[in-house]
């Protein structure tokens, strides 16, 4: 019994010491998709020993592994540096306590790649880089008109599908359709028109969204005189 009691005490002390001495960076997702031209957030949190309440985080850094050859993110260039006031598409929306979320505006194909967060404290040697980081994939959102019946000019009574396509997939992604800015009671990447009518005229928008980002694409359908014209916006 004494041996067991001693083991439990040691285990408890070990847990406390481990909690107080932890260093780390946590990325909820290791792969994030983004639509070109829109914004995306990279969720991130970090932690460091709390046994010394005077310890402070003095610098926060984000690296793009496309630009930075040092995997520890120890040297420039950085896409974000809390010590610099440079404005860019990369905005830090975290803090100097535990949140290290990065918001990227106007995402471009060149922004695809791996990103890592590094923080520095005022304690000698008190630095940490989250490895491996988060991989960002950028793709275009596309809306296609796929004809299902009829030949030549589209006419009332013809059927078609509007199909929303995003080549980068994510487990939490969903498709939302709207007509003239009013959300439709449908979901999924395909909007089906079994028989076109004049009332189907309008601007149709497909919005692809995840918990980190969203993007949209609009196509215009105009039914006139028994025919349908389509134009991407």
HEC string for the chain:
CHHHHHHHHHHHHHHHHHHHCCCEEECCCCEEEEECCCCEEECCEEECCCCCCCCCEEEEEEEECCCCCCCCCCCCCCCEECCCCCCCCEEECCCCCCECCEEECCCCHHHCEEEEEEEEECCCCCEEECCCCEEEEEECEEEEEEECCCCCCEECCCCEEEEEEECCCCCCCEEEEEECCEEEEEECCEEEECCCCHHHCEEEEEEEECCCEEEEEEEEEEEECCEEEEEEC
DSSP designation for 61 = E
Output the pLDDT for position 6.
38
CATH 3.50.50.60, domain 141-232, yes or no: no
CATH topology agreement for domains 21-138 and 141-232: yes
The pLDDT of residue 87: 87
pLDDT, averaged per 10 consecutive residues of the chain (233 residues), comes to: 37 41 90 96 92 81 92 92 92 96 97 97 89 95 90 79 89 90 92 92 94 94 63 62
Cα–Cα dist 19/13, whole Å = 10
Q: Measuring CA to CA, which residue among 170, 175, 183, 162 is closest to residue 207? A: 175
**What pLDDT, in 10s, does the model give residues 104-148?**
999 999 999 999 999 999 888 889 999 999 999 999 999 999 989
Q: What count of Cα atoms within 13 Å lies in the side-chain half-sphere of residue 201?
A: 12
The superfamily in CATH containing domain 21-138 is Immunoglobulins (2.60.40.10)
**What's the predicted TM-score (pTM) here?**
0.82
* SS3 of residue 9 by DSSP: helix
Token representation of residue 128:
């940490």
Query: How far, in Å, CA of 129 to CA of 26, rounded?
Result: 10
The domain limits of the chain are 21-138, 141-232
Q: How far apart are CA 208 and CA 216, in angstroms?
A: 6
Residue 113 tokens, joined = 């790649």
> What pLDDT, on the 0 to 100 scale, is given for residue 224?
64
Nearest to 25 by CA among 63, 54, 53: 63
Tell me what pLDDT residue 8 has. 33
């Amino acid at each position: 019994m004494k041996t067991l009691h001693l083991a439990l005490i040691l285990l408890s002390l070990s847990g406390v010491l481990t909690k107080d001495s932890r260093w780390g960076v946590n990325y909820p997702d290791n792969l994030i998709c983004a639509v070109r031209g829109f914004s995306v957030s990279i969720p991130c949190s970090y932690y460091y020993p709390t046994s010394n309440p005077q310890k402070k985080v003095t610098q926060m850094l984000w690296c793009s592994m496309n630009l930075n050859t040092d995997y520890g993110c120890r040297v420039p260039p950085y896409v974000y540096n809390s010590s610099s006031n440079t404005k860019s598409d990369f905005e830090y929306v975290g803090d100097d306590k535990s949140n290290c979320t990065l918001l990227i505006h106007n995402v471009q194909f060149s922004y695809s790649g791996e990103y890592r967060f590094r923080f520095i404290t005022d304690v000698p040697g008190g630095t940490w880089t989250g490895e491996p980081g988060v991989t960002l994939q950028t793709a275009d959102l596309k809306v296609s008109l796929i004809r299902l019946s009829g030949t030549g000019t589209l006419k009332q009574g013809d059927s078609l599908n509007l199909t929303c396509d995003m080549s980068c997939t994510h487990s939490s992604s969903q498709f939302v359709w709207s007509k003239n800015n009013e959300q439709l009671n449908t979901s999924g990447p395909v909007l089906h028109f079994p028989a076109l009518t004049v009332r189907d005229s309008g601007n149709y928008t497909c919005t692809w969204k995840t918990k980190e980002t969203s993007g949209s694409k609009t196509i215009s359908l105009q039914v006139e005189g028994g025919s349908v014209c389509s134009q991407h916006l």
